Structure 1
């Protein structure tokens, strides 16, 4: 009897979640197409690249918004069980509420492991394709322009600046490299266009000027074109958050270690992305418990009341996640604590609601 009920609830859990994704992602694609179709036509984007972009779009946003989809899907089908008095029948047969929760937790485990693996290996590739497309064809997008400005410390005495970086052509524009001795500027290199050559693993400078600061006179060197080698990697010319999103787990850990060794003040941006890879899958358990506790009772207002409560709680969770993530990136607040605070707060809420539901 219990195995039949477990399979029934688990199947409803996974099917409703899948249907919820299949319902809302096409809506997101339609909205995105309506906003960007003019730019795609203007840039004459090949159909194959558009199709690949929306495949990456689907993976990227499904991973980003899965807590909301999961939460609403659990509330939806659990409310239907409650309205049909199926939950009352199950509990009246002598099954405890904790035992009733087992298939939900199994479903949450399946979703969490799937999201964890996707976040480690699949989502970074999808994010890279998604962002590369935006950089290549949607360069009027305000967010793309804002993310292009980059200032980074690459060693104890060296700093680089890039006003814009094309990921597709691997070209940086308005590049500057400054070298200091203490507080004094000793050397400054400015390049209008800097292109990376993968085959030779070097860079080509176009329209460059190099100034060496002397005690009495400065030395100026300039030219139209020159191949050279720099100590930094191509990844160092990429905006922080964009770079963090496109790295797999192992690559991200190595990159964080490298940035720490350099003394990069923006390393917290990478740490927030790393810790979220672990915290977001855990939220599947917390949101599942809250959703079951909220929707397992038959209410006078029916399913609409449960959905309204669910939507409010889901967006509150997303709000907490964004606020504390930004706080960790922009302040001295420890990233690992900031990333886990939403789970901690909603975990306490889940325990409280579960106790009330048992009563």
Structure 2
């Protein structure tokens, strides 16, 4: 059986790699055709363009590897079925579960590779990909804002602002409260806050400071005040894609920090963290579905299997995107949203596998 195991395993991994090598250049070509005008307009150096498309390749492979894996398994398994090779395997006394073993070994190899990619390589690629996009392709035209921010910045101080603007380094209706134990000691408020990158200071407009005393409060007022505050502006308003750019250890630390600060984007970060595990695990589920669908010889041949496989693959991706978006923009559980496609298709995999075995 080792010969048959190696035969299927080599086809499994070889077809998957071939699928990546075929589709990634297509993705690069389509992206380049769309972005070439901006690249030439901004006179982007060739070295940076090459680095961008290296990052794009890793980002693209990590994002769509479940689809490539699914199609590659359907492709070569359908060929085995059409050539009656599967019938020969099973007729020799090999059980269907034993026939699945090399597929599961291949899925394990892909899963381990996908984990390394998802945990460490893809975040670094995502950082370069997004930095290039915002520096050369968008040029700061898309101003991202964060509304109603309330955060704990350390053990004794809290801030609030009705609006933060990361690109202009400004905020409106800003307050900072300092506590010692459960007692408020002073409160700073300003109608506008502006951060100066060159000096590392903040300019406060309509500045008020209320110092709480035992015998009465003291109020200080300035029309404008340049001062130092105990936080970095970027730490308060991380851009939406920052979680994607952190490796597994950095992401865990970042999430713990954002929880302490009371970030309004926690669901977004949790979705990214859970997907680091859910996508690699999907390799097993999609492999089993692909084998169950394509191991049966059908009247329509490989075309029917591919059509059915592509439909299932896009339903999986649709579920993954829709439930992830719902969790990011509502109070829906990120854990359930991320794992729902795997749970649903896991049940489908068991059903199809039982029927295929029969």
2:200 aligned counterpart, secondary structure: strand
1:154 aligned counterpart, secondary structure: strand
| Kept in 1: contact 2:151–2:160 (CA 8 A) | yes
CA–CA distance in structure 2, aligned partners of residues 288 and 116 of structure 1: 16
| Kept in 1: contact 2:175–2:190 (CA 8 A) | yes
Report 1:56-205 matches (<5 A). Answer: 56-139=55-138, 145=142, 148-151=144-147, 152-155=149-152, 157-160=158-161, 161-165=163-167, 172-176=168-172, 178-179=174-175, 187-188=189-190, 190-191=192-193, 194-195=196-197, 203-204=200-201
TM score, norm. by length of structure 2:
0.87
Q: 1:48 to 1:88 in 2, by over 3 A?
A: same
Structure 2's unaligned 5+ residue stretches are 178-183, 211-216
- The Cα of 1:109 is off from its aligned counterpart by 0.4
Task: Name the counterpart of 1:282.
Answer: 281
- The Cα of 1:210 is off from its aligned counterpart by 4.9
* Larger Rg, first or second structure (1 or 2): 2
TM score, norm. by length of structure 1:
0.86
Q: Give aligned pairs, total.
A: 338
Task: Name the counterpart of 1:222.
Answer: 224
Mean CA deviation greater in 90-99 or 226-235:
226-235
CA–CA distance in structure 1, aligned partners of residues 44 and 138 of structure 2: 13
Deviations 1:255-287 (A, max 9, x none): 111111222232111111111101111100000
CA–CA distance in structure 2, aligned partners of residues 249 and 76 of structure 1: 33
2:241 aligned counterpart, secondary structure: helix
CA–CA distance in structure 1, aligned partners of residues 150 and 22 of structure 2: 45
1:101 aligned counterpart, secondary structure: helix
- The Cα of 1:191 is off from its aligned counterpart by 4.8
Structure 1's unaligned 5+ residue stretches are 166-171
